[in-house]
A and B are shown apart, each in its own frame.
Chain A
């Protein structure tokens, strides 16, 4: 049997047009809410069009109309079966004070692995420099070539310099924010390669910090170093560790230990957490960029205690925030 195509199309077209119109309304306005009657009608039209598609494929097989109907059915199918979880309203304060810290705590093992890898790298860097000081120039990348200078020489020069709070600071701050955010995102996404490159990135960055720390401390510039790094590092480094944490979450997802879920389902479970961690890390890096540019580079010895105090309080505040913020109060038993 071959379908009378013209008659069939003429009879069914009003329903297809109606379905197209309903879908268009929703496409053009993502907040568009169907009434109960409209929702019922949408479902009816979807089913009718699906039946038309089956008829077309079975009795006519004409490619153009079949393709049109497939497109329409696919569109309606995606609307009817879409993930309702995506419609949750974004509440920034709740996200910052509850979602972000609780997500962080939920994956604390990944964070511990991240911070551990970094400090093992730092230990390696310090040990390597202690073993052979000449290695310093081999480790320091070209963009940080100023760190090749002997610390005491740099400190003597910088402490004498006048600090211009504005000249070039905005630009420097922007460079720091974008560069560190890129590094943090990169530390996360390379987790896809089974976490190997997340480990390498964290270890490498740790090695650099270890070299710098050892270099300054062994040259008797520990106070300068602390006053220089602590104000912004107390936020910047944890943000990079969070990037590493997200990377290890992805790596764990790639391995799929202790689950029978497919990769697709495993990723669906962690997507929200990854975005929350990255969002939190990005906010931290914006703040760290501002501090590094406008405060950390101010090297007046009289100001060191204030800078160290500020960095220490900031670090303590961050630890308390990530540990306790957003915890639900235990319910009292009656």
Chain B
């Protein structure tokens, strides 16, 4: 018995290793470490390969990408990184593992606001951190800004995901950058007091909670709304989206907080030229259109049509603060979440 199992197992191992280690024929490649899920970026990468003949090897890493790159050093196989926010790119810049790219094509595609002045990193798409409001149970004008979310009249009416999630940490960091740590703490405590439940779920789950009547306001990223509104496979999500009105906060002041997904070329890149070509492609018309149409993100390049659903929310003023500056307050923001015990949810009498 044991023997048979062993033989069978060894056969499987042989086959899989042969399969895994079979060398790739094409040397014309770019090697990518990505924070973004494969199902999101694969259509883009396939289009790039089709157009240029350059193969893209991807590994979706997320946690520990920075440490892996640092440890691999000059021998790192990675040519390029793709992240879901500028903060991570900034960490890499500070760890000195990126190299500058200068390309007039890329610079023409991406407005200066969304790229590093020396070409160390590039923003590719923009998503707003907006407020969802119940169509049924809220009045227009009651909440117009992030600050309004702390108003005592909203007690027990707000839902959010964990304060520790990168999108919320980033929003809190931007509040710190604008108003200072003390004010940010007061604000965050106010929002916590208004929570309807312990923070949980992702942004989509907050819309669902509004639909179910558990809360009236929520904080979420724009593309979730697009995905719900057009979800043919799960029509119940259309109902959630239907229960919700989109508010772009801070339109009369700083503008709505945005986070930017981006890319950078590593210092150790062996295929730096190909990586630069990929960034040029991702910021070009075709890829920006895919981002807009399939992922409901805002293209960084001007003149690209928005998805009709996204366009239907109207235009908005985005916060123009330097995102690398905001990223510096991430650790402080995370601490504020601890100090205010935000993730423990609403607390009576505190």
- Same complex for A and B? Answer no
Q: Which residues of B contact A (CB under 8 A)?
A: none
